[in-house]
Amino acid sequence: MTTLFISDLHLDASRPDITAQFLQFLDAEALGADALYILGDLFESWIGDDAADSGQCAAIAGLRSLTQRGVPCFVMHGNRDFLLGEQFCQRSGARLLADPVMLTLYGTDVLLMHGDALCTDDQAYQRLRATVRDTDWQRRFLGLSISQRRALAGAARDGSKAHIAATAYAITDVNADSVGTVLRESGAATLLHGHTHRPAVHSFNVDGRPCTRIVLGDWYTQGSVLRWNAQGYELCGLARTGGPE
């Protein structure tokens, strides 16, 4: 049996092919898994559990079908969908994970994160993150009408795109010292995260201890999954049926 990890699907009404691939993935490979972990940014935007659109509702129904058939599903907040809440959990059957959280996987301790908290060279982003993760800010935001929230989220996405385009590639990647710190503090030798959309397996030392950082890919042009079982792990792309891949 295998545990599956995905992240950064960025499901959105403008990209129905990703939603279709996700639903196929839930109905096929995920059904045979020990568990499914979604490490943030399942959705491109989430303005509250009361405001899901039809594509988001389809994804929730897919998750519900999976969890009802006995496959546990865990969802971590990303920087796009950090407002996923209790109602989402009740409707999907998924459980929310803290960020970071430690998981023991077939005998190996693995630290799971979305990854944005590690991008500490991007100080403007870290200030924004601190603001929107504040519970008072979230309460005020959720108190706005759905159309007001949608307008603010759209402006935030435009701002984020402009910021990433104007910021050096290295700045928007994880900071090596921050990676070292979380591995040192957790005691884990393996870190698994998404967010940067730079899928890879990195090997390095922290205080002379061999460590590994596994980065999940996004689902923009193909899927990305980490399969982990008792024999080890593999990071794989998932061709999109009917697409250019």
78 contributes a contact to Mn ion by CB under 5 A: yes
> What amino acid is encoded at 115 in this protein?
G
In the bound complex, what is the minimum distance in angstroms from residue 115's beta carbon to Mn ion?
A: 7
On whether the CB atoms of residues 213 and 202 are closer than 8 A, the answer is: yes
In the bound complex, what is the minimum distance in angstroms from residue 81's beta carbon to Mn ion?
A: 9
Q: Point out which span in 39-47, 66-74, 93-101, 217-225 binds Mn ion (CB under 5 A).
A: 39-47
- The C-alpha atoms of residue 61 and residue 58 are separated, in whole angstroms, by 5
C-alpha angle 104/106/107, rounded to 5°?
65
Range list of H helices, 50-175:
54-68, 86-92, 123-132, 135-142, 146-166
What backbone phi and psi angles, to 5 degrees, belong to 191? -120, 130
81 contributes a contact to Mn ion by CB under 5 A: no
Q: Point out which span in 18-26, 35-43, 122-130, 150-158 binds Mn ion (CB under 5 A).
A: 35-43
Q: Point out which span in 76-84, 101-109, 122-130, 135-143 binds Mn ion (CB under 5 A).
A: 76-84
> What amino acid is encoded at 25 in this protein?
F
- Report which secondary-structure segment, H or E, holds 205: strand 200-206
In the bound complex, what is the minimum distance in angstroms from residue 147's beta carbon to Mn ion?
A: 25
Size of the site for Mn ion (CB under 5 A): 4
DSSP conformational letter for 220: S
Residue with smaller CB distance to Mn ion, 149 or 195: 195
218 contributes a contact to Mn ion by CB under 5 A: no
41 contributes a contact to Mn ion by CB under 5 A: yes
79 contributes a contact to Mn ion by CB under 5 A: yes
Residues lying near Mn ion in the complex (CB under 5 A) are found at: 41, 78-79, 195
